[in-house]
Chain A
């Protein structure tokens, strides 16, 4: 197994992620959040959804799941760790990425294609993209308004039209090493023409290229 996709109670994008990774030639397997062993995985994805019903705050309960210890260990070791949508919120709650999420500025649940621009290519998710490259991928969130009072977050993909009030128009944020990235829109839902866009491919292909054993696929 190359890519472990963590399933929390209330996750709902794990099948999409597993499908997209396999479509792009990677190997992916869903892993239950109560598992603790990620030793067979070279990379991990925290998928979108509403883990634990977003009780208290988005990601607040999920970050306490047994598997999160292993996710943190992988992040610290330099392995690729990707959080998508709710997975991004979980990484922030866990303190693995800086900042936190509040409700969208206009209190709208945004569910549409949006345009983003890659602003930093020194991360595992953006290494195959060009600076300034515009991508059209679906956004599907109510609490997508990223806030970082410390201004330490490294914004690597930005919205071009500020749909939700996110600070610095952040759509994706990386840790300093670039091996951990959280992204609010869904690249896995923009991987086939049938879905209306294939712009998510360059991001997931970069991610897979950074997975050690996937490079031999």
Chain B
């Protein structure tokens, strides 16, 4: 196995066991791989690349329970990235029928690649659309880094409700992206 893949795989396996720093390193590294992978496949839609990187990261996170430690990591990640890519192209195809598809080919303004990490879609704005029982747990736990107990105290929710709120909220975020993009 490729040493880099093995390193990433171990980071993910540790992340699945609840090791947050390892999981952070995994996602960080993965996003660079995803960006390269998707940029090669979206040469005509460079503006979509970063949005799709983020959407795929969210999918990897939400569906991380489907990874089996014995499975090649590349196959798993690539299948998710391809699925999200095809989903995006299908969504665009439906939308382009309604708008004007001819514009695409005549766009000479070359988009900037320098700010690779800037997405067009603002996940922060999508987050604001979630109901409080999902949004507040995400804000307290995921953005402010509070513990479950602290988030529960601040919101007046039970600890299990906080956990469920984070889980469902991130799924709802993915659903919003599917519906909006």
Are A and B a genuine interacting pair, yes or no? no
B-side residues, CB < 8 A to A, are none
A-side residues, CB < 8 A to B, are none
